A = this chain, B = another copy of it.
Amino acid sequence: MNSEWSVEEDSLSHPMLFSDFQPLDELLDTYLLEDDPESIPNHHLKELIGDSGADPSQPHLCAADNNHAETHSSPHTTQDFSSDQISDDDLVNLPIQELNKRLKTLPRAEAQMLRKRRRILKNRSYATSCRQRRVASDESLKEQNQRLKDQLREVKEILRKTIVDRNLYKSKCERLEGLFQR
């Protein structure tokens, strides 16, 4: 049994109905001035990636396994080991121009493989950020949703109190008018 409408309810945190309604007006400012629900934040769904390292030792247990031991990139004499000269890290992060320079010194087939691997590695991180973006956007929607529900509840409560208040004034007016009738 929710005695929502009894005015005697001092348990409410706003013991001001009727004689003092400043608090209501303040709250009104708070809400009515913030007139556009569309303007709710919602813009914090970026800056989440930051990959760069994270050696994907066995990315999917099926990716082409190029043996990368670039802990101390060995710019050694021979280019015999060809593809080993370029770490995965360089492969993705080097500007394409710089990469092409290095690839020119390699056999065509080798170069092609490396380009393909570059694309795969890049796609891998695109996929990762795509997923993170989706998750972030979902969370954001849920948060916004919760905020809206809370606001709605609050505004409804204010409305309820305002109506009680108005009804009291109305009754008082009618009583006073009754006195004049006599």
Contact = CB atoms under 8 A, between A and B. Distances in A.
Interface of A: 4, 21, 24-25, 28, 31-32, 35, 37-38, 134, 137-138, 141-142, 144-145, 148-149, 151-153, 155-156, 158-160, 162-163, 165-166, 169-170, 172-173, 176-177, 179-180
Contacts of A28: 159-160, 163
B37 A153 contact: yes
Given A166-B166, A176-B180, 12 more contacts: A24-B163, A25-B163, A37-B152, A137-B138, A141-B141, A145-B145, A158-B159, A162-B162, A165-B166, A172-B173, A176-B177, A179-B180
A127 to B, nearest CB: 14
Top 6 nearest A-B pairs by Cβ distance?
A166-B166, A169-B169, A37-B149, A148-B148, A176-B176, A141-B141
A159 B32 contact: yes
Given A145-B145, A165-B166, A169-B170, A159 B31 contact: yes
A153 to B, nearest CB: 6
Contacts of A138: 137-138, 141
B152 A145 contact: no
